[in-house]
Amino acid sequence: MQAFAPLPKNISRNALTHLRDDLARRESVLQTMIHRFETQYKISLETFETRLAQGQGQEHPDWEDSIEWRNALDELKQADLMKRVLEWLLRSKAR
């Protein structure tokens, strides 16, 4: 098993837990945004973007919504990755 360097002293278990909790709250906000778009348009983002590319829909606000929707999905993936890293660090620090 590979040994890892210890965490810097100023990064406590409490700090990692706080970051993980902040990410969970951020994920909740992003999921709410995504749900709002799914409810409003009643289609997937991919279908929505295809329709916009074919000239269906309004340029404003539909294109802005598609950008915001795409960004929320991308940010949700990043938040999930960061949360999993923090959880791994917390498990590692517990050993």
**What is the tens place of the pLDDT at every residue in 21-75?**
999 999 999 999 999 999 999 999 999 999 999 999 888 899 999 999 999 999 9
User: Whose CA is closest to 19, among 93, 73, 74, 70?
Assistant: 93
pLDDT mean over 3-8? 71
The whole-angstrom separation of Cα 4 and Cα 45 is 41
Q: Is 8 left (phi over 0), alpha (psi -120 to 50) or beta?
A: beta
Q: What is the reported pLDDT for 9?
A: 80
Q: What is the reported pLDDT for 58?
A: 86
Q: Is 57 left (phi over 0), alpha (psi -120 to 50) or beta?
A: left
The whole-angstrom separation of Cα 95 and Cα 65 is 45
* 76, pLDDT greater than 90: yes
Q: What is the reported pLDDT for 94?
A: 65
Tell me which H or E stretch contains 57.
none
Instruction: Look up residue 70 and give its two tokens.
Output: 């795409």
* 7, pLDDT greater than 90: no
